[in-house]
Amino acid sequence: MENVIKINQNSTYDHIQAFLNDLESENTKKSYEAAISDFFKWKYKKIPMEFINPTHLNSLTYPAMKGYRSSLRKKYSCNTVNNRMNALYSLLKDLVKIQERGQYVYTYRLNDLRLKPLKNTDAEEYGYVEWEEVTRWIDYLLNSNQRNKEGKAAMFHIGRLTGIRKEGLSQLDFTDLVKEDGVWTLRSDLKGNKYKFALQNKDAQMLLKLKTTDDPKEKIFKMSVKTIERLFKHILEVFKIPEERNIALHSLRGLAIYEAYEASGKDILVAQKLAGHENIETTYGYIKKRRDLHAQPTLYMGKEFNNESVNELSDDDWKKIYNNLSRSAKYEIQKLIQ
């Protein structure tokens, strides 16, 4: 392709606007503009995009691009992250062709800045949370003075129960909560994908208590995606969750998928159906890391089984032991009881 020479463009901001104006679709322009603006805010902090110059872009490095993508992964799905990175690379590909007075304005090496697109199986790299940990978040919210504390607590519970993404959670309204054949169901329709989850009566009643009007389209949690993100950031700060744990809102989805796997007797097909994954390898990506950690043989190797100590346990001792078992072990016991 021949080099593109743009005349009378005196700043990087002008170059960016020229790139955006050349895009065919208005929707594409808006999404690209949002992605590019987000990158500059992350990389250059308080410098407005209007004041970004070629020197800023010429100093871009591979670690910087990787760091930016890591920040996106804490907020968005793999597909969304890839789309945002593609928007950024499209801009960089366009800018690197620009000449002024016979000299290239941008001298970065584009190939050195490229990252491989994420695969859905990369989701396992999100940090994971335990069911009991989320329960502590819920208890904190219910005992706080926050507005809509019941809605916020319910959002975390439904998130860990169904694995619905934050966009889907924010869109749920009371027409999505219906009773079918005596069973309460929660329906989620996001980006053309339809999901249906059976709920216990107590969970359905918890949601119904959030209803404040006669409008059937009233939102269940009454929170936008931005509000959910701010709430999650608050939880991370209150509970002093270390950054290296890499906990993200998407971790709730990972928890739901793993719980479905454990509750079904380790049936990955059940977990796949709950997650709505077309490819079972995607589901496996969510389960593998946590399963491998819990299955480490060093946790039980060399231990002897002492039946006499078991026989000496009182009912209260058994209850205490049961309460301290892993959720996987509890599920197994529940199956045997039934």
Q: What is the pLDDT of residues 285-317, one digit of tens each?
A: 888 877 766 555 655 565 565 666 677 778 887
Burial class of residue 45, CB neighbours in 10 A (0-12, 13-18, 19+): exposed
Element (H, E) at 188: strand 183-190
Quick one: pLDDT at residue 93? Answer: 95
Question: Buried b / exposed e across 302-331, counting CB within 10 Å, b at 16+?
Answer: eeeeeeeeeeeeeeeeeeeeeeeeeebeeb
Quick one: pLDDT at residue 1? Answer: 42
Burial class of residue 257, CB neighbours in 10 A (0-12, 13-18, 19+): buried
The C-alpha atoms of residue 327 and residue 259 are separated, in whole angstroms, by 8
Q: What are phi and psi of 258, to 5 degrees?
A: -70, -40
pLDDT over threshold 80, residue 9: no
pLDDT band at 190; cut points 50, 70, 90? low
Quick one: pLDDT at residue 6? Answer: 42
pLDDT over threshold 70, residue 166: yes
User: What is the DSSP secondary structure assignment for residue 117, as one 8-state letter?
Assistant: P
pLDDT over threshold 90, residue 24: no
The C-alpha atoms of residue 201 and residue 207 are separated, in whole angstroms, by 10
**Mean pLDDT calculated for residue range 148-158:** 97
87-114 residue pLDDT tens: 999 999 999 999 988 899 999 999 999 9
**Which strands make up the sheet holding 183-190, listed edge to edge?**
177-180, 183-190, 193-199
Quick one: pLDDT at residue 5? Answer: 41
Element (H, E) at 103: strand 103-104
Please state the pTM of the whole predicted model.
0.60
pLDDT over threshold 80, residue 159: yes
**Mean pLDDT calculated for residue range 130-136:** 95
Quick one: pLDDT at residue 304? Answer: 60
pLDDT band at 212; cut points 50, 70, 90? very high
